[in-house]
Amino acid sequence: MKNLEKALEKVLSTVETVAKAYEDKKIVPMEWIKIGRSAVMWTWIFKHLPEIKADMDTATEAGVTEMIERLKVKFDIPQDKLEEAIEQALSVVLIFLVMVWGEDGLKKDETQVS
């Protein structure tokens, strides 16, 4: 799931950049440049959509949960309420996308006991 995680890192990096820039309730030109640079990195996502979809097709519940936890640790959104909302939305969106795109929804780990 390295491609999926890398794509989410790029999106969360932009969110983090915007949140930090808006912390003082205004965004100055240099902050706009930083936001633009981080958004340009999204082109990687569009170039690698087939690989990202393949990651989602083979995703497991445990794998998605571990990835979400790694992303939560890696990114620090300054506003706690915003950070919490983003983390919750990320969890819901990831699980929904894997269910929709995954051939069998979220595959259970073979080590899990049913």
Q: Can you give the pLDDT at residue 113?
A: 41
Domain boundaries, the chain: 2-101
pLDDT digits (tens, 9 = 90+) for 53-65: 888 888 887 888 8
Residue 112 has pLDDT above 60, yes or no: no
Using the 8-state DSSP alphabet, how is residue 25 labeled?
A: S
When comparing pLDDT for 90 and 16, which is higher? 16
Q: Which letter, b or e, does each residue of 3-40 get, where b requires 16 or more Cβ atoms within 10 Å of its Cβ?
A: bbbebbbbbbbbbbbbbbbeeeeeeeeebeebbeebee
Q: How do residues 76-111 score in pLDDT, each as one tens digit? A: 766 676 667 677 777 777 766 666 665 454 455 444
What value does the mean pLDDT take over residues 11-23? 84
What is the predicted pLDDT for the residue at 31?
A: 92
Cα–Cα dist 33/113, whole Å:
50
